[in-house]
Amino acid sequence: MSQGVRMRPEGSGQALSEAYDTALLDLDGVVYAGGHAIVHAVESLAVARAGGMHLAYVTNNALRTPDAVAVHLTELGIPTGADDVITSAQAVARLISEQVPAGARVLVIGGEGLRVALRERGLEPVESADDDPAAVVQGYGGPELPWGRFAEASYAVARGVPWFASNTDLTIPSGRGIAPGNGAAVEVVRIATGAEPQVAGKPLPPMHRETILRTGAERPLVVGDRLDTDIEGAFNGDVDSLLVLTGVTDGALLLAAPPQHRPTYVDADLRGLLTGQPEVVAGGGGFRCGGWTATAGAERLELDGDGAGLDGLRALCAAAWTAAGEGVCELEAGKALARLGL
């Protein structure tokens, strides 16, 4: 298990798809970006599934329904059923259902994924603050969500109606780059009202609870690209994690990660599920992995060696995280990272 102050990435003598029974995979930035499959994702997931690993797709994006996500993944060549998809809409709907009467009205600021999840819990989605809602729920509604929806939420929240958010990711990856996420929209309502929502999505416990309830995972591995949602969510759930470098996290962000953002394993992409992970070994005042040795100097991280760039990044993480302890590494890392070509 991953809880604690991590000083280096861990190794695994087994392929991760054999060491863990269930992969809890983020979608945006891990499996696809801008609707298109990320390189190596389809083939890697097929091999992991054929070897007996259960694949579950866990997303903070509350816009689409599990059915729609499953259809999209299947079209990409990843056979998926709706039961294999867990969304923050489902997590927030369960959270709301535990605090309002059965059949209560809920003002929805977001997309169809929220409405379907609320109905699954026996709640009635409504569109106006004047519909006497028992709660307000806000989730990602896509780039075309009208500005007036934020005003509708603000009217209800200002009257004291309980406010819930599916997630607070400030950004979301798209085919054209990084776009504002639901967290940015939540900030609009927070500024207008001064209120704070209850949040269900990663990295918070309601999302982890929803995932375990729906998958029955006993030895789960969280797989994600974001430190502040995927990896922190694994930390909060006390489970192991694999960070893939196909999304928003780069080497510099990884080296500066505080303990709750440090993944158990690091790999370039989803091929990392199919292999073991090399050990990072301490010695001689530094850390070795593969053909690389990394040390923390007085002002900067230093790297020597050659071979696979990821081995060097793993060694650098050990040097950076050890130097930082429970804090954030402030040593300059640019030259060391440039040598790795990552």
Q: Which sequence positions are flagged as catalytic?
A: 26, 28
Rg (CA), the chain: 21
Phi, psi of 57 (to 5 degrees): -110, 120
Q: What is the distance in angstroms between the CA of the first residue and the CA of the last residue of the chain? A: 28
For residue 121, give both structure tokens. Answer: 């819990």
Q: Are 314 and 340 in contact (CB under 8 A)?
A: no
CA 310 to chain centre: 21
CA 208 to chain centre: 11
Cα 92 to Cα 207: distance, rounded to the nearest angstrom? 8
Q: Alpha-carbon torsion 145, 113, 173, 336, what sign?
A: positive
Q: CB under 8 Å to 288, separation ≥6 — which residues? A: 280, 281, 282, 315
Number of Cβ within 10 Å of residue 38's Cβ equals 22
Query: What is the arrangement of strands in the sheet containing 292-296, beginning at the earlier edge strand?
Result: 281-283, 286-289, 292-296, 301-305
User: What is the tally of helices (H) and strands (E) in the chain?
Assistant: 12, 19
For residue 239, give both structure tokens. Answer: 């489970």
Is 201 exposed, middle or buried (CB count within 10 Å of its CB: 0-12, 13-18, 19+)?
buried
